[in-house]
Amino acid sequence: MDYQTGFFYLFSALLLFAGFRVITARNPVHAVLFLMLAFSQAAALWLLLKAEFLGITLVLVYLGAVMVLFLFVVMMLDINIEGMRKGFWKHFPLAAFLGALVAAELIAVQWAGFPALSMSPDAPGTGVNAPDYANTKELGLLLYTEYLYPIEVAAAILLVAMIAAIALTLRQRKDSKAINPGLQVHVRASDRLVVVPMAATQKSQPTEAAATEEGKV
């Protein structure tokens, strides 16, 4: 067994362990940290497959941005863990059935294997066999030409998700300055200004003793 096979088994074992701990961790923050570990091991597997662009993208995008955002959101939401555990066994049969179904599908695909792809040989000096070939450049040209519209849609979805995450962190917080537009629309002038009737008061005249004391001062 060469060193690449050893690294493959090491990264795969850590990936499976981290994925298992994501769904079994009792603390949501610990689950997010294990998910970050799983993504890092998946990026290492991509590097072993010589897919440097996918590995670097997984580290920069998911570990460097998305998962850090998830971690801060989970920490700021102050989730009630005891409330989340209620009804666990009620939904456990459905969750176990779906998990077994997904596992059976994965086993069936792996058992059947993947058919060998027939690729026509490239011309000398062109294609994958070219000395100046770069998969990152080819992926960039493909993403921003043929798949430009899906990339823009994905960017809009990520923007909406980021705004929703920020809105969730400001929900039901005592120091939040958020306003309800519905209440502002239905406001009435009588709710903002209240006229309280008061009896007229007259300034009292100073007594003789008080005037004498003021003269002494």
Question: What would the pLDDT profile of 31-72 be if each residue is shown by its tens digit?
Answer: 888 988 998 999 999 888 888 888 888 888 888 877 777 777
Which range has highest mean pLDDT (16-20, 125-129, 139-143)?
16-20
Domain count, the chain: 2
Tokens 């998830």 label which residue? 70
Residue 91 lies in a domain: no
| Arithmetic mean of pLDDT over the chain | 77
Least confident of 50-64, 92-106, 107-121, 138-152: 107-121
Q: Are residues 137 and 77 in the same domain?
A: no
The most confident of 22-26, 72-76, 118-122, by mean pLDDT: 22-26
The pLDDT value recorded for residue 82 is: 65
In a domain, 2, yes or no: yes
Is residue 180 in a domain?
A: no
CB 40 within 8 A of CB 59: yes
Q: What pLDDT band is residue 14 in, cutting at 50, 70 and 90?
A: very high
In-domain check, residue 155: yes
- Can you say whether the dihedral through the CA atoms of 2, 50, 56, 43 is positive or negative? negative
pTM score of the predicted model = 0.51
Q: Is residue 71 part of a domain?
A: yes
Cβ atoms of 40 and 63 closer than 8 Å? yes
Question: Which of 81, 97, 114 marks a domain boundary?
Answer: 81
Last residue of some domain: 39, 56, 81? 81
Tokens of 59: 């580290």
Asked if 5 and 71 sit in the same domain, the reply is: yes
**Domain-embedded: residue 106:** no
> Highest-confidence range of 28-37, 69-78, 170-179, by mean pLDDT?
28-37
Judge whether 142 lies within some domain: yes
What's the CATH number where 73 sits?
A: 1.20.120.1200
Q: Which residue has the tokens 């059976």?
A: 104
Both tokens assigned to 137: 């450049």
Q: Which domain holds residue 152?
A: 132-172
Residue 207 lies in a domain: no
Q: How far apart are the first and last CA of the chain?
A: 106
| pLDDT score recorded for residue 153 | 94
pLDDT on residue 160: 92
CA dihedral for 169, 171, 176, 179, sign (positive or negative) = positive
User: What contacts 24+ positions apart, CB below 8 Å, involve 129-134?
Assistant: none
Average pLDDT of the segment spanning 72-88: 68
More confidently predicted of 22 and 110: 22
